[in-house]
A = this chain, B = another copy of it.
Amino acid sequence: MSGTTVGSDCSAMQGIHLTTDSLKTAATLSSGDGRHNADWPTAFPPELAERGTLVQTRPGQPLPLSLAGQETVFFVRMATLLFRLTFADGLRQGVTLLYPGDVFRSAFAPAGSASSLVSLSSGEVLRYRYDAFSELLEANRDARRYFDRAVARQSARQAIHLAAVGQLDSTQRLISFLVELATQIGVPASEGRIVFEMPLSRSEVAEYLGLNADTLSRIMSRLRAEGLLTQPDRHTVFVGDLNALSALSPASALLMSLRRPNEATPDAARA
Copies assembled: 2
Q: Is the CB of A250 within 8 A of B87?
A: yes
Q: Is A112 an interface residue (CB 8 A)?
A: yes
Stretch of A2-10, A16-24, A156-164, A219-227 with 4 or more beta carbons under 8 angstroms from chain B: A156-164
Q: Is the CB of B160 within 8 A of A257?
A: no
- The interface bits of chain A over 130-159 (1 if a CB of B lies within 8 angstroms of the residue's CB, else 0) are 000010001001001000110111011011
Q: Given the known A-B contacts A95-B163, A167-B87, A250-B88, are A110 and B258 also in contact in the complex, defined by CB atoms under 8 Å?
A: yes
* Minimum CB–CB distance for A42 against chain B, Å: 15
Q: Which of B85, B141, B166, B253 contacts A160 (CB 8 A)?
A: B85
Most buried by B among A83, A115, A148, A269: A148
Q: Given the known A-B contacts A107-B152, A210-B167, are A250 and B89 also in contact in the complex, defined by CB atoms under 8 Å?
A: yes
User: Which residues on B sit within 8 Å (CB–CB) of A158?
Assistant: 155, 158-159, 162
Q: Is A264 an interface residue (CB 8 A)?
A: no
Q: Which of B96, B110, B156, B253 contacts A88 (CB 8 A)?
A: B253
Which residues of A line the B interface, CB within 8 A? 71, 83, 85, 87-89, 91-93, 95-96, 105-112, 114-115, 134, 138, 141, 144, 148-149, 151-153, 155-156, 158-163, 165-168, 209-210, 250-251, 253-254, 257-258, 269, 271
28 contacts between A and B (CB under 8 A): A83-B159, A85-B163, A87-B163, A87-B250, A87-B251, A87-B254, A88-B250, A89-B250, A91-B168, A92-B167, A93-B163, A95-B163, A105-B152, A107-B152, A107-B271, A110-B254, A110-B257, A111-B257, A111-B271, A114-B254, A134-B148, A138-B141, A151-B151, A155-B155, A161-B162, A162-B165, A165-B166, A165-B210
